[in-house]
Amino acid sequence: MNIPAIIRIKNLRLRTYIGIKEEEINNRQDVIINAVIHCQAQAAVESNIIADALNYRTICKAIITHIEDQRFALLERMTYEILEIVMAHPDVIKAEVEVDKVGALRYSDSVSMALGGKRERCGEQWVAGF
């Protein structure tokens, strides 16, 4: 039996340095992170043991630590580094990461960037793309 799963991390709200203007470089700004992670869940479903599951808490903690400890000029770079964190887990088959920069444009809630990564089989090298 092959049981595919989708894990969704929704609206992870963090503050970080993002941007190129002096005000952005000197002050933390709000970002909202969403991730959709495709993986296999067969072992976890059958065993009910945490060691057999993709630990989304570990992924989330790694994202939080990385984003809060870094400075980014571009939303593209931040989004890619988050995607790298997610895809570092060999059990992830496919993932999409979207980052919203809150208040980036006047009259809009946010501006967002989305990037995806995928691999043919668990454990193989991943490539960027949806």
Q: pLDDT > 70: what percent of the chain?
A: 99
Q: Does the pLDDT of residue 1 top 70, yes or no?
A: no
- Domain residue extents for the chain: 4-122
Q: Does the pLDDT of residue 103 top 80, yes or no?
A: yes
Q: What is the pLDDT of residue 38?
A: 97
Expressed in percent and rounded to 5, the helix, strand and coil fractions of the chain are 30, 40, 30
CB of 105 closer than 8 Å to CB of 111 = yes
Cα dist from 110 to 28, 55, 88, 101, 117, whole Å: 15, 29, 28, 5, 23
Confidence of residue 11 (pLDDT cuts 50, 70, 90): very high
Architecture of domain 4-122: 2-Layer Sandwich (3.30)
Q: What is the pLDDT of residue 105?
A: 87
Determine the average pLDDT of the residues in 5-19. 97
Question: How many Cβ atoms are within 10 Å of 99's Cβ, its own excluded?
Answer: 29
What distance in Å separates the CA atoms of residue 125 and residue 91, rounded to the nearest whole number? 11
pTM of the model: 0.93
Q: Does the pLDDT of residue 121 top 90, yes or no?
A: no
| 37-92 tens-digit pLDDT | 999 999 899 999 999 999 999 999 999 999 999 999 999 999 999 999 999 999 99
